[in-house]
Amino acid sequence: MRCALYLALAPLVSSLTLLRPIVEDVAEEPRVEDLDDCVCSPFSGNPDGCCTVPKGGKLTTTTTTTTTTTTTTTCHNWFADEPCGTRGHGQYCCNSNFESHCCNTSACTAGCRNSLEGACGCKEQPTRESVGYNDNLALRMLALNAASQCDAGPVRAWNCTACSANVSLHDINVTDNDGHSAYVGYDAELDQIVAVFRGSLSVQDWVTNLDVLKTQAYAELGCDECYVHKGFLDAYWSLQPGVEASIFALLELYPNRTIALTGHSLGAAMAAHAAVSLRLVRNLPLEPYVYTFGQPRTGDAAFARWHGAYFPGWLRVTHWNDPVPHLPPQEVGFAHFAREIWYDHASEDVIVCNGGGEDEDCSLSVAVAMGWTSHCNYLGHPVCQCLAW
């Protein structure tokens, strides 16, 4: 997934002198020897990115005396005397510490994520901190999504099987309609109102029956020529009256509080529409960072850009080969929101993806995404069923 940069190098040697028998009394032009003559510094990812330390000669200059032929070895690292990108090292060059760096922005985003800012023209790669991603808050929001899979009564009482003891909600109201569900409550610890949109109870059936029908939306709000998935929008509209009534009721009890949105799978797409309705229509204050999990593509590229301009803190958490983020397909005109946070199979390693929405180094890199286990298990916890954490 990423190029790791290492400094565990053998002591650097500027040159190595080898003695050989006389061959002929003729000086030769510098010549490039086999790569075997130099040793790559520890660098994982691409042989073209090899930074060399001396072993026996990559660029050798041969001089001859009357008694011996002296060969001086200088391992050729491209930062020193040739432009980055020459001699087949198109994506990488080496700095004075024999670290490999990317030559250009495209290589940075697609091949070498640990390059230093400014090295070979690279831009600094995003980090959790730079995009506002908080591991603890992500886990808290995931716990709220897990609880959405439980029956309404236990959720209202906050004693359901999946209701986390680490999160305490009050004054909870559940809205159900047409097979869809959401709940709204007050989080006293964070002093905010939360609105949680449930994913489909039968996600595999939902995906099997998923159509690609788009409908124009939000032109009255300035989203000209924006199209969204009709089914996702209809799902939100089925819950919108109950969800908004619950939010306004909580604002009577807890005035001037912000509203945090979250959702998993289909629920994540509904949360995207809720954000538009609550902020741009109802003029209510939302939390700046929104965490969704396993979100499908919600609309076309115009909608993704427009939505991102209003909600730059939207963070789409994805897991390994979860198939839902691959749907609906790009080929029929759908596009993702900008910022993806992609976890590996074990939910241990994470890539903060680029701001393009369709980062080829993240979930898009999985050619055949059929991991229903990945879709139903995020951050090491179940999220598709009402199961204890």
Domain definitions of the chain by residue range: 16-125, 130-382
The active-site residue, picked from 246, 265, 363, 374, is: 265
pLDDT of residue 261: 98
Tell me the pLDDT of the chain (389 aa) as tens digits.
Answer: 333 332 332 332 233 233 333 333 333 333 333 334 444 443 323 334 444 444 433 333 333 344 444 444 333 343 333 444 443 334 444 444 444 444 443 333 333 333 333 334 444 568 899 999 999 999 999 999 999 999 999 999 999 999 988 999 999 999 999 999 999 999 999 999 999 999 988 776 567 567 889 999 999 999 999 999 999 999 999 999 999 999 999 999 999 999 999 999 999 999 999 999 999 999 999 999 999 999 999 999 999 999 999 999 999 999 999 999 999 999 999 999 999 999 998 998 899 998 889 998 899 988 878 888 999 999 999 999 999 98
Active site residue 171: no
Active site residue 170: no
Provide CATH code, domain 130-382. Answer: 3.40.50.1820
pLDDT of residue 12: 29
The answer to whether the Cα torsion of 86, 92, 97, 98 is positive or negative is: negative
The active-site residue, picked from 322, 326, 336, 359, is: 322
pTM of the complete model: 0.72
As a whole number of angstroms, the distance between CA 294 and CA 353 comes to: 15
Helix segments in the chain, DSSP class H: 78-81, 105-111, 128-131, 135-147, 152-157, 203-208, 230-253, 266-275, 301-310, 372-375
User: In angstroms, what CA-CA distances link 315 with 261, 352, 357, 372?
Assistant: 11, 10, 11, 21
pLDDT of residue 205: 58
As a whole number of angstroms, the distance between CA 321 and CA 385 comes to: 19
Active site residue 375: yes
